[in-house]
Structure 1
Amino acid sequence: MTDSTIFDKIINKEIPADVVYEDELALAFKDINPQAPFHVLVIPKQRIATINDVNEQNSHLIGHLYAVAAKLAKEHGFAEDGYRAVINCNEHGGQTVYHLHLHLLAGKPMGWPPYQDTKKGLI
């Protein structure tokens, strides 16, 4: 892999994060720019740059990220009301850190579509 990402540094405890969950495969921590009252990032400890880099050898990690998200939603009381769990991919998908991460957002109703450009209509 190339240079380490901010998430590698969080995994290695080189920089602090507000960790809400950790196991041998994943780490979850509060987003520093929350887009909902509850917004955490769930990341695999093994770096996978984007969804495009998921393969047979690492695909089990994706399922694990969603299992962690469901566990956190239950523990924090959002499972019944609902929540959003999303993984962005590459620039047009909104990915800014190239270490795959699942956004878990909850605590308010989520609209759909998530983005609307008022000049062009729905995106």
Structure 2
Amino acid sequence: MPFAFVRIDHVQLAMPPGQEPRAVAFYRDVLGMEHVPKPEPLASRGGVWFRAGAVTVHLGVEPDFRPARKAHPGIAVTGIDDLAAALEAAGHAVRWSDELPDVRRFHTDDPFGNRLEIIDAGAP
């Protein structure tokens, strides 16, 4: 092949119009991601961007928004138990899964109902 895949640059999720403050409250304040300013002309469309390490999440506005209940990003983290506790303390359900042997993981939802899979990356 004359090309090669290098990495996933970002994951795009959708959110309802006007809900940027709720996105910031979850992705920045609960998950601890950096809120990254969107460049123009993209910023005028609404939505918000976040980054933590090599993980980048973009939330775009959809007027007829429906949450992604099955499709989801799988995000590997260290300190998975601490993240689960922070989510629960902020009122977000944590649903642990034991379906994959030797993989510690759980699912949670962002404030808009988008499914997120959190996978234990092991010790830092």
TM over 0.5: no
TM-score (norm 1): 0.29
TM-score (norm 2): 0.29
Q: Which has the higher strand share?
A: 2
Q: Which has the higher helix share?
A: 1
